[in-house]
């Protein structure tokens, strides 16, 4: 469906799907990524890296 949405120029639909698929594939190969259990989401130089910011978002 993402491929069909891309060719019909519905980028708002296909981009999040492809990014989610890529994250899942990376997590299957190497346990890292946004939704992996062992991923450290604390980033010292980013506003998104607040100690509870991304962890709260992933829980939602």
- Residue 35 and residue 27 in contact, taking contact as beta carbons nearer than 8 Å: yes
Task: Report if pTM > 0.75.
Answer: no
Whole-number pLDDT of residue 59: 78
- The domain in which residue 12 lies consists of 2-59
| Number of separate domains in the chain | 1
Polymer length of the chain: 60
Whether 13 and 29 have beta carbons less than 8 Å apart is answered as no
Give the model confidence (pLDDT) of 17-46 as tens digits: 888 888 888 778 877 766 666 666 565 555
According to DSSP H, which parts of the chain are helical? 2-7, 11-29, 53-59
């Amino acid at each position: 469906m993402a491929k069909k949405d891309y060719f019909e120029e519905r980028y708002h639909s296909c981009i999040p799907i492809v990014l989610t698929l890529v994250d899942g594939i990376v997590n299957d190969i190497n346990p890292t990524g946004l939704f992996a259990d062992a991923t450290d989401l604390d980033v010292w130089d980013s506003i998104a890296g607040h100690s509870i910011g991304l962890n709260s978002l992933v829980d939602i």
